Structure 1
Amino acid sequence: MSDNWKEIVAEWHSGSAFIGRNPAGANVQIGALDGKPGIGPMEMLLFGLAGCTGMDVISILQKQRQSVESFEVRVRGKRASDYPMVYTEIEVEYILWGEGLSTKFVEQAIELSEEKYCSVGIMLKMAVEKFTSSYRILEPGQSLETVAEM
């Protein structure tokens, strides 16, 4: 198989539950299985986006010697009300904790990810009507609740 191909296997278990497996042996549960909630297929797309852009941004910031202490990527998607109920809007929020993080470097890292490196995000941007992103830089130990109260 060419290096440009990616392959996974999704094995049906019961009801609408599947276990997804990649060639490295990592597994993910798709749908509810044995009373345990799983991840829905449309949520998987959002997870893929968060992971893809998150890996880009943290890698770029580390190369720029930025001291990121903690990092979250939050993704929300609004679905169409009629079938096939595709995403029509996607919002990405990057939340970074660190002392002295450069706004300039954070913005550059996000832009590089969203415009050049994150294939998941670039593909989804072509499919949705509206794709937006924002970021917040917080000091170490600062909670999101504290920021919301400001």
Structure 2
Amino acid sequence: MKVSTKWNGERAYTMTNQRGKTMHLDPDGEGVSPMESVLGGLAGCMGIDIIMILKPYADKIKDLNIETDGDRNEEIPKYFKSIAITINIDGDIPASRVWRAVNLSDQKYCSVANSLNADLSYKVVLNGEDVEDPKK
């Protein structure tokens, strides 16, 4: 999976995936902030999992809405210290099956949830050339 993110000036960027779909990132203007996109990505990932896991009840699901509320660190870096996730689902589905779907998503299937503590590696290309980290 690969995306390209192009600077549009100030703090605005346009992210484009390999299928040509875009998302406008701009914490000051028309788009969403990068951290809002993390919350939305988490909700979308869990929503996909929940619907897939509850497939036997597909004809009974009337609505699904997931709200994510992130509590950020006050100091830089302002990472998410905690995220409260509320799954609002309407339909004739046993609560135990919904909780099973939520727990399976959280613990096994949701790539976003399981990436929030990912190891990160960096590469810098400056003016077309790879630049090594001087601290290494």
Structure in which a larger fraction of residues adopt strand: 2
Residue of structure 1 equivalent to 2:61:
68
TM-score between the two structures when normalised by the length of structure 2: 0.80
Contact 1:66 1:102 in 2 (8 A): no
Question: Partner residue of 1:90?
Answer: 83
**Corresponding residue for residue 24 of structure 1:** 19
Query: How many Å apart are 1:101 and its aligned residue?
Result: 1.5
Greater Rg over alpha carbons, structure: 2
CA distance, structure 2, for counterparts of residue 55 and residue 106 of structure 1: 13
Q: Report the secondary structure of 1:83's partner residue.
A: coil
Q: Distance in 1 between matches of 2:77 and 2:27?
A: 21
Task: State the TM-score, normalized to the length of structure 1.
Answer: 0.73
Of 7, 11, 14, the residue aligned with 1:12 is: 7
CA distance in 1, matches of 2:76, 2:32: 20
The corresponding residue for 1:136 is: none
Structure 1 unmatched runs, 5+: 1-5, 128-150
TM superposition shift of 1:91? 0.6
Letter in 2 for 1:105: R
Structure 1 runs, 4 residues or longer, greater than 6 Å off? none
Of 72, 75, 88 in structure 2, the residue corresponding to residue 79 of structure 1 is 72
Matches within 5 A, 1:19-58: 19-31=14-26, 36-58=29-51
Greater RCO (CA < 8 Å, at least 6 residues apart): 1
Deviation track 1:101-140 (CA, whole Å, cap 9, x = no partner) reads: 211110111111011000111232x48xxxxxxxxxxxxx
How far apart are residue 37 of structure 1 and its match? 2.1
| Offset of residue 65 of structure 1 | 4.5
Separation of aligned partners in 2, 1:32 and 1:75: 18
RMSD over aligned Cα, in angstroms? Answer: 1.7
For structure 2, list consecutive stretches of 5 or more residues without a partner in the other structure. Answer: 119-136
Paired-residue identity, %: 30
Looking at structure 2, the residues matched to 120 and 13 of structure 1 have their Cα atoms a distance apart, in angstroms, of 26
In the alignment of these two chains, the number of paired residues is 118
Residues in 2 aligned to 1:72 and 1:65: alpha-carbon distance in whole angstroms: 15
